[in-house]
A and B are shown apart, each in its own frame.
Chain A
């Protein structure tokens, strides 16, 4: 029996969240990152409106993951960068942003263990998000449905006793989004939507991200294909950010 209220946030789309009506979820000026290996991304100027969906396009190794982690308060940009996320100044207020911004789809960060059931995976995440003294019950299909329905939408939910490696690429991606949304974030950053290789299934992911952003959660997602936005169907054509910097600079379309 779950003590986590199943996704009230996503079900009540008109509920105000976070700071009172921030017009801008992300404001970035001269956002850059250099390491000893050289330039990673930037300079990037961003202005992301709250509740909007932003698609970041850039080649593999172009600093997309780093940029998204920076926006989610999980990575520190160069000094001199000006970055405000959800009204919090970064990187100083990282802890606050980490609590309100969720990440999904990052290789090496939120990878799923393949040989584990969906229920165990969800239960683990609920345990981490619960106060330490709470009992976290086994996750049954109903609990999972309450949690996953807003993310999966019309798509049939996988059975909780199915193993992760049995999941379709899109279901695995949606499961990762579900786990991220269990945090009730104001900002959701999703890396590498291309990991869903099939473009029809990727369309599903994009649609679900659009639906999530429609509930007020700002969504910033990255993809490698430069014509991804053009090839997909959108209710509202999302804002695009071309990331082509450093050694990976490629003329943008």
Chain B
């Protein structure tokens, strides 16, 4: 044996005497108690549920279904009793209640009175789920209740499958009828769609007509508004007419009286004209005489005027003789000359005489014209006299005529007053007409809109009816057209639509095998604790020598490891051969279990070395509790509070559980090698820390020499 691997006297001291041997036995067998005993007890709890006394009460009163008596409760009770899943005791309600209360039964199942009725109701008007009543009492055993709930879930599924088939079958029969109804409904929808099309056309026409009516009504409204204004103007005109007719009547009356006066005046004029005609005849005669006289006078004057130039010449010769005498100093000649000169100056000049001649000619002409005019005047006055007589008779007639006009204008005024009244009434009426026409216009517009909407709606109705028809057809097609056999098969499938078919990558045999990966590390951790209670983690004799820390560490570790190997051998053997655990890989399981025990021993040795025997033991126990809760060996760690999830990956038992699951159940993968690596690292790390600590422990302290607390 190498010096390094010497186990020293650590184990040899247990060879002598009964108690030390028992101690070694305890070290080796304690893990067995934890591991194998627990596993044995929990190996297959669900396999012995038929030993679990459970009360069964059938209170079902039965029912009828399609005229056939239905006793579903009895059927269920019979089936449960026959199945033997649990230790059923058919009893009455009181016994069941008492039994559950006092623990005779773990729980009670009651088929209620209305069970069959509820089942029958599945195809009826008020379908109600049938109930199975289960009464638990966790005071009897919580786990029994839990197992019972699990068992009752299976019972429920089984009963539901059978009962469900009957109910679904009835529903399927109804569905067959529904299929026919759907087809009829589809036809009706198609008819509805055709009618909808017609309705759409009619509504469209109504809409068009209403639109035209609206347009006309709008025109009517406008016209009636114009009529209102026209009738108002008419009323005003009639009023003016009445006023004018009145004035005309008055004026005509005045004209009649004036005409009468004219008639009278014309009479007098006729008389005067007659007189004037007579006088003017006289005048004409006188004027003709005047004209004759003037004409004679004019001729004479003309002769006179023609002798004047000879006088002039004579006078000039006298004037030149006298002037020559006067110039010769004859005074009487001068005087005669002066007088002659003044007299010749006073004589009219030839021009004046010419003018006087022309004026006399004009007078002659004028007198002739006066004579002619007087003649014409005389004849005109005769005519005037005649006309005046005519005027007198005509004006008399005018007076009479104007009087008639006056009378007619009065009548017209009266009629025009009536017209005013009538046109006022007309104006009021046309106002109402305009109002009504406006309302009519608005109403017909609304009608047009509504009719358009109706038209649109009926188009949609048509589309909807088509959709309905299509949907009903599709629906009818969707409802299976089953034969009786297919219907039964379908009822079965619908009643249990989902069947579980599970495949396991790695399958645990049962409850016990599932728990083995948890109990084995737990047992080994406790086994290590027991081992270190009896063995010295760091033999003080080794520390007293100059041997290295690692040597001292191995001096403590190796004897413990020998015990650990014994623990593993005994426990695996008993679990395999005694309890019946099958391992996917026996060699792998043993090797991994040895790694676990080595790791736990080294870890606990390290804790004891670092913290001292007393505090180290406390720490080991605390670590044990933490690992129990966080290793995920019982419930998945994800179901535990966050604290345990956080420490789960830190603690070696988590890896021990994971790795053992794989070597026992199979399906080895990277998790196993990860577990091996982690446990190996903890093992070597713990040994290294213990070695370092052992070097320090070669120097004693008074506390260590005389500990205040020793375990």
Contact = CB atoms under 8 A, between A and B. Distances in A.
Nearest to A163: B16
A124 B13 CA distance: 12
B12 A94 contact: no
A124 B6 contact: yes
Contact of B705 (A65, A94, A110, A163): A65
Nearest to B698: A98
A213 B195 CA distance: 136
Contacts of B1: 127, 135-136
Given A35-B703, A76-B699, A103-B544, A128 B555 contact: yes
Contacts of B702: 33, 35, 37, 40, 66, 75
A115 interface: yes
Contacts of A161: none
B307 interface: no
B4 interface: yes
B536 to A, nearest CB: 10
A132 B698 contact: no
Given A103-B544, A132-B3, A115 B14 contact: yes
Interface string A3-19: 00000000000000000
Interface in A90-105: 91, 94, 98-99, 103
A232 interface: no
B700 interface: yes
B534 to A, nearest CB: 13
Interface residues of A, number: 43
Contacts of A74: 544, 698-700
B71 to A, nearest CB: 79
A69 interface: yes
B313 interface: no
A26 B705 CA distance: 23
B8 interface: yes
A69 B700 contact: yes
B311 to A, nearest CB: 206
B699 to A, nearest CB: 6
Interface in B534-564: 540-547, 551, 555
Nearest to A126: B3
B17 A115 contact: yes
B16 A115 contact: yes
B387 interface: no
B20 interface: yes
Contacts of B551: 128, 132
B90 to A, nearest CB: 67
Contacts of A204: none
A135 B2 CA distance: 4
A132 B2 contact: yes
A106 interface: yes
A114 B20 CA distance: 12
A134 B705 CA distance: 32
Interface string B1-32: 11110101110111111001000000000000
A110 B541 contact: yes
Contacts of B703: 35
Interface in A114-145: 114-117, 120-121, 123-125, 127-136
A106 B1 CA distance: 29
A117 B3 contact: no
Interface string B696-711: 0011111101000000
Interface of B: 1-4, 6, 8-10, 12-17, 20, 540-547, 551, 555, 698-703, 705
9 contacts: A69-B705, A75-B702, A110-B540, A113-B9, A113-B10, A120-B8, A129-B546, A134-B3, A183-B546
Interface of A: 33, 35, 37, 40, 65-66, 69, 73-76, 91, 94, 98-99, 103, 106, 108-111, 113-117, 120-121, 123-125, 127-136, 163, 183
